Amino acid sequence: MNRRKLELYEALFKQYGPHTSHTMMADIAKAFVCSERHARTLLKQMSSYLWLKWLPTKGRGQKGQITCLIEPESACYLLVNHAVAAEKYDQVDHLLGFNQRDVSMGLKRYLASSVKQNSSTIFARFHRQINQLHPHLAFERTERHLIHEIFQTLVNSENHEIKPELAHTWKCSDDGKIWTFYLRESATFHDGSPIDAYEVVNNFKALSISDYWHSLYQHMIEVKAISSHVAQFTLSETDYSFAQLLSRAETAIMPSNQIYQPSHAYTPIGSGPFMVDIHSSRLIRLKRYPQYTGVTALINQIELWIYENWAEEKKCDQNFFFIHNQEDSYQVSTKEIGYFFLLLNRRELQRNEIKEPLVRLLETGETPNLNLTVPVNLSHENNNESRKLAKKLKSILPNVISEEVTFGHSTQRQDIRIGGIRCEYDKVTSFVAFFKLYPYWKRDLSWDQHSKLQAQIRKIRASYSPHEREYIVDKILKQLDDDNIMTIINSEDLTLNVPSRLKNVKINKIGWCDFAKLWLD
């Protein structure tokens, strides 16, 4: 109904313009294509919205005075604001598309208008719906980044250095098997409930039995509360890099009563710098949490607007922050936030004469001379780079059956896999996570190859030296490449276009920037 009023108001605006005019009710009814009686009702309603001012003159045939107060698009934005405030997000597209307007452009103009009027909110845009913000169920880069903004892990990892988060200090036994964490007693969840060691225990017990994560944390044989704010982990093997593991998104702490909630009943309640105000299919709104135990966020709130058609434009991550026309901007870039790989799962394909031509195809586009007549099952992950690499493979494999999977997941029936490894804060821990979480090594490798891989992972965990750990990871990758099993194809880089009014944008090791450190000029 409001959309129809917008369309009628625009017809009136086109006829009388943004100034005062004198006209008869019959002429207004003609513009509205309705009776004079209904035209009076519409004028009254539009006046109550403060779109126009109508001063009728008594007497039949007398001209009244009409003044259009705002542009039709401005009237639309007022209605959109009301729809957002009422959490009626399905109405946003409906309103922005009035009189056959392009909704994508309309949403951009609405955000531009909001930017000019609001100096305490950062507006961003995204091309797909954000999945459930549950630490154990977040696999995509954006969701895992948002986990870090909403929740806290025990510690944080940055440039091989472990920093406090929920734990203000920690210690490790000489043999690297017992880790003790001392929690901040002032920490609370966004709902005001306290965070204690028993919450930590419940979270890690759930993580250890997770269908997806258990293999990465299977050396964690016990976690217990020593006291209300001291949690202790006992490991089955030496792991001097265990603290780095506890900086990953899946280890973020949530209230115990939310861990096993079904998706329709789950609420993302954390203790991080931002709390979730709105999580809908069209809008994610994060608000500053003033009781955060770290450095309080400088910005009041962040709104992430979602419109799937934006995926057709330039790289969505590059244009994450909203920049309106003619606004000055700058770029922030970083390299090697992740890697893309080719994995040959079927033993018959693990030959140099097959691997090398496929690698050249993926790296340079050189068309190989392969004679693979048997059907090949190909899986690739659901990101643009994996899709692009998979498309190259499909162009030269005549009998290919292709399947797209969620990032970090595999299919049982795959002969060739295209996927990614994302470096979250610590490169070595990210590769160890990949090696431990991939479920089909025993099938893809010989017994000897599999034993060597597991032994190398144990060596990584038993090493004090970050440089030695990285050396062992490189050694594993070289061996997998030499055995024609897995090859790194290219690295993942990131460039963000940033409006000049937004300050302190620095890309972190998860491939985003820390929202809490941003501020508007």
pLDDT single digits (tens) 282-301? 889 999 999 999 889 989 99
Among 216-230, 305-319, 392-406, 436-450, name the one with the lowest average pLDDT: 305-319
* pLDDT given at position 470: 95
Q: Copy the structure tokens of residue 354.
A: 């097959």
Amino acid, single-letter form, for residue 381: E
Which residue has tokens 């090696």?
435
* pLDDT given at position 326: 62
Q: How confident is the model at residue 521 (pLDDT cuts 50, 70, 90)?
A: confident
Decide if 423 contacts 337 (C-beta within 8 A). Answer: yes
Q: Please check the confidence at residue 437 and state whether its pLDDT lies above 90.
A: yes
* pLDDT given at position 391: 93
Report helix, strand or coil for 154.
Answer: coil
Report helix, strand or coil for 172.
Answer: strand
* pLDDT given at position 282: 84
Percent of the chain past pLDDT 90, that is, above it, reads 63
Domain ranges of the chain: 3-71, 124-133+264-330+496-520, 153-258, 334-493
* pLDDT given at position 498: 86
* pLDDT given at position 322: 67
* pLDDT given at position 325: 61
The total of other beta-carbon atoms located within 10 Å of residue 358's CB is 22
Indicate the CATH number of 334-493 among 3.40.640.10, 3.40.50.2300, 3.10.105.10, 3.30.70.120.
Answer: 3.10.105.10
- The torsion angle over the Cα atoms of residues 436, 339, 139 and 298, rounded to 10 degrees, is 120
* pLDDT given at position 351: 93
Q: How confident is the model at residue 324 (pLDDT cuts 50, 70, 90)?
A: low
* pLDDT given at position 429: 94
Write the pLDDT tens digit of every residue in 58-85: 767 788 999 999 999 999 999 998 888 8
Q: Please check the confidence at residue 332 and state whether its pLDDT lies above 70.
A: yes
Q: Copy the structure tokens of residue 359.
A: 């690698």
Q: How far apart are CA 158 and CA 160, in angstroms?
A: 6
* pLDDT given at position 513: 86
Write the pLDDT tens digit of every residue in 16-32: 888 899 999 999 999 89
The β-bridge partners of 331 are: 497
Decide if 379 contacts 403 (C-beta within 8 A). Answer: yes
Decide if 358 contacts 342 (C-beta within 8 A). Answer: yes
Q: How far apart are CA 204 and CA 39, in angstroms?
A: 65
* pLDDT given at position 496: 83
CATH superfamily of 153-258: Dipeptide-binding Protein; Domain 1 (3.90.76.10)
CATH level 3 topology of 3-71: Arc Repressor Mutant, subunit A (1.10.10)
pTM: 0.85
CATH level 3 topology of 124-133+264-330+496-520: D-Maltodextrin-Binding Protein; domain 2 (3.40.190)
Quick one: which of 121, 111, 112, 114 has its CA closest to 502? Answer: 121
Kindly state the average pLDDT of the residues 365-394.
88
* pLDDT given at position 53: 94
Handedness of CA 453, 458, 459, 461 (dihedral sign): positive
What are residue 183's phi and psi, to 5 degrees?
A: -85, 150
Quick one: which of 336, 313, 321, 340 has its CA closest to 487? Answer: 340
Q: How far apart are CA 318 and CA 160, in angstroms?
A: 27
